[in-house]
């Protein structure tokens, strides 16, 4: 957002297959986004270079040209050193920088400090691999063959098209904002944005994360990323919604809300389709916070771990039991059509919240209109949201039939936007943001000598609320295990499938071992799906990203002991 003017995936999924270079970092794409990983494999088979930066050997490494296995939390040194190399070797796109960006000189002065030698010392990645990754990405080099794009022809400098994919391995960090801005700097430095098969592409972790963000489910914006602190935007929205005023204060993020609840400053929490007792960091603290509330309401399709603590449970319809729209990771709004009937008393979320709102109105003597509060259907809701959300303004429920539409879609004749920032950025000129490397908040020491990193496995999803109720999936991966390198396994005298205690400064969990060279010595991996081995009992919540307020899920210090 700070670099380009929007924070969404800049390009479309199908464009990946035609890229000359696919640069992946902080994303176990094959297991967390398997359909998207097919496009990466297609690109590799068509001759693209695939470069992966990750602390763990992930499945897509089998298709990679270059794998840079970094020490957890040190990837930013590699990114900065790549840009240092690109500038030093004259590979930067000087024309793009001059015509379409600002802030380059200040950015360049910072990058001069981060040599490949310094990055190698911090990350453990060889100098030659850092320099090779810089060249491959900057020039859009193909492993074989010729780019399909005309602007990669010799008369255009021979620069192919490179795309960046990233996910929560980058954002769920105490310096996540800096990491994302660094990737934005890398794309602008080489002109690898604003055209097909390029860009900076965050892969969203769930089906409608993008849509939820687009429509105001963030603490600092109204629908369409209109800042709550902007008085002019507030006044226009208040007029559209026929109210006198709207609140102008930035709210509390999830972790901040849990801290406030523990201090007695938040007394009621309403949870919809989320399971903080499994997914929030420092779970013991989360449980204490939730147990101290005056009222905890959980609206969900299954009785989750969080629902066990609730005063009120509201049964909601699942995605296949309702209509509406989802907006996916490539900014595509698509219709959702029911295929089965909702069981029992379960009804769609909007009807539940509409009923609650109507009863508030009744208590205040406001006469209720027809339908659920002010709406009779999800199509009415969508058509209203389009009027107050500039990037959706040209959409309507009827226009979403078929393949849907990608925002921005500013008017009813607009076909939607396949890729962003063609010709100019959403903010006008792209902004280089000088970024210094910051180390993780918690480092290993004699008491906690290992680094824990968390993530997903292919057969389960998020907190396991749905997938662990599926017999075949639970049979395939029935319980929690911790991946540990053979060197570390020997040091604590464990074999495959041994019982161990994994302990951090915040708590301890039991797990089985899986000895694997996918993790380097000094690093262990635990997925966060397992209620029997809840990874987030271990993760820290004391240092948040200063901008996004996201905790550092991906790096914390632990020790492993044999049971």
- Within 10 angstroms of residue 325's Cβ, the number of other Cβ atoms is 21
Element (H, E) at 69: strand 66-69
Contact 253, 547 (CB under 8 A): no
Question: What are the backbone dihedrals phi and psi of residue 69, each rounded to the nearest 5 degrees, phi first?
Answer: -90, 105
Structure tokens at 86: 């690109």
- Res 368: pLDDT: 63
pLDDT score at 3: 94
Which helix (DSSP H) or strand (DSSP E) does residue 201 occupy? strand 200-202
Q: Structural domain boundaries of the chain?
A: 13-203, 209-402, 450-562
In this structure, what DSSP letter does residue 341 have? Answer: P
Angle at 213 between CA 206 and CA 218, to 5 degrees: 115
| Domain 13-203: top CATH class | alpha beta
- Distance (Å, rounded) from C-alpha 81 to C-alpha 96? 21
Closest CA to 530 of 283, 270, 167: 283
CATH topology of domain 450-562: Barwin-like endoglucanases (2.40.40)
CB-hemisphere CA count at 13 Å for 444? Answer: 18
pLDDT, block means (10 residues), the chain with 563 residues: 92 97 96 96 96 97 97 96 98 96 97 97 97 97 86 73 95 91 97 96 92 94 95 95 92 95 97 94 96 98 96 96 96 95 95 91 77 82 94 95 96 96 94 94 94 93 91 90 96 95 96 96 94 93 88 94 94
Per-residue model confidence (pLDDT) at position 156: 58
Residue 371, pLDDT score:
57
Beta-strand ranges (E) seen in 328-404 are: 332-336
Q: What pLDDT score was predicted for residue 562?
A: 95
How far is 25 from 38, CA to CA, in rounded Å? 17
Please tell me what DSSP assigns to residue 506. S
Q: Are strands 332-336 and 405-406 parallel, antiparallel or unpaired?
A: antiparallel
Q: Are 84 and 118 in contact (CB under 8 A)?
A: no
Helices 75-89 and 176-189 cross at an angle (nearest 10°) of 20
Which segments of 302-372 does DSSP mark as H helices, in order? 349-363
pLDDT reported for residue 480: 86
CATH no. of 209-402: 3.40.50.740
Cβ proximity of 456 and 31 under 8 Å: yes
Tokens 């602007």 found at: 151
For residues 52 and 69, what is the distance between their CA atoms, to the nearest angstrom?
8
What beta strand segments (E) does 329-461 contain? 332-336, 405-406, 430-431, 450-455
Does an H or E element contain 86, and which? Answer: helix 75-89
The per-residue pLDDT for 154 is 64
What is the model's pLDDT at position 370? 57
Q: What is the pLDDT of residue 207?
A: 87
């Amino acid at each position: 957002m700070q670099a380009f003017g929007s924070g969404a995936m800049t390009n479309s999924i199908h464009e990946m297959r035609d890229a000359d270079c696919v640069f992946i970092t902080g994303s176990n794409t094959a297991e967390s986004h398997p359909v998207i990983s097919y496009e990466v494999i297609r690109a590799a088979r068509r001759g693209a270079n695939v470069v992966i930066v990750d602390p763990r050997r992930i499945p897509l490494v089998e298709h990679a040209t270059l794998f840079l296995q970094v020490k957890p939390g040190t990837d930013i040194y590699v990114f900065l050193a790549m840009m240092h190399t690109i500038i030093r070797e004259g590979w930067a796109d000087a024309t793009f920088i001059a015509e379409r960006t600002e802030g380059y000189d200040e950015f360049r002065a910072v990058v001069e400090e981060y040599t490949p030698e310094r990055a190698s010392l911090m990350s453990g990645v060889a100098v030659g691999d850092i320099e090779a990754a810089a060249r491959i990405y900057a020039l859009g080099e193909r492993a074989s063959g010729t780019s399909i794009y005309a602007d990669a022809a010799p008369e255009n400098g021979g620069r192919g098209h490179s795309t960046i994919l990233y996910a929560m391995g980058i954002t769920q960090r105490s310096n996540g904002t800096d990491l994302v801005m660094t990737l934005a700097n890398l794309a602008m430095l080489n002109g690898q944005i604003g055209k097909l098969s390029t860009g900076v592409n965050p892969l969203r972790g769930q089906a409608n994360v993008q849509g939820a963000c687009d429509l105001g489910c963030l603490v600092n914006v109204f629908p369409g990323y209109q800042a709550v602190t902007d008085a002019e935007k507030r006044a226009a929205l208040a007029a559209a919604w026929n109210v006198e005023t709207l609140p102008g204060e930035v709210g509390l993020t999830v972790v901040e809300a849990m801290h406030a609840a523990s201090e007695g400053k938040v007394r009621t929490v309403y949870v919809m389709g989320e399971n903080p007792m499994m997914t929030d960091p420092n779970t013991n603290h989360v449980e204490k916070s939730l147990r101290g509330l005056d009222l905890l309401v959980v609206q969900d399709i299954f009785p989750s771990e969080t629902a066990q603590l609730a005063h009120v449970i509201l049964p909601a319809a699942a995605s296949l039991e309702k209509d509406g729209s989802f907006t996916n990771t490539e900014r595509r709004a698509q219709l959702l059509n029911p295929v089965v009937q909702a069981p029992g008393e379960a009804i769609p979320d909007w009807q539940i919240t509409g009923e609650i709102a109507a009863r508030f109105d009744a208590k205040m003597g406001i006469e209720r209109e027809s339908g659920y509060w002010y709406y009779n259907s999800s199509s009415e809701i969508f058509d209203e949201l389009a009027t107050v959300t500039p990037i959706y303004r040209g959409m309507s429920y009827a226009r979403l039939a078929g393949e849907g539409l990608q925002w921005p879609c500013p008017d009813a004749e607009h076909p939607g936007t396949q890729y962003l920032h063609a010709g100019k950025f959403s903010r006008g000129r792209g902004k280089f943001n000088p970024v210094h490397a910051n180390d993780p908040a918690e480092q290993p020491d004699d008491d906690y000598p290992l680094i824990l990193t968390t993530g997903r496995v292919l057969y389960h999803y998020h907190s396991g609320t749905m997938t662990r109720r599926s017999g075949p999936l639970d049979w395939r991966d029935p319980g929690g295990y911790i991946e540990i390198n053979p060197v570390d396994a020997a040091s604590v005298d464990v074999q495959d499938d041994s019982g161990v205690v994994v302990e951090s400064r915040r708590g301890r969990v039991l797990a089985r071992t899986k000895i694997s060279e996918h993790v380097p010595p000094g690093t262990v991996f635990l997925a966060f799906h397992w209620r029997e081995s809840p990874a987030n009992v271990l993760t820290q919540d004391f240092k948040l990203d200063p901008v996004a307020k996201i905790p550092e899920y991906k790096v914390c210090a632990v020790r492993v002991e044999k049971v």
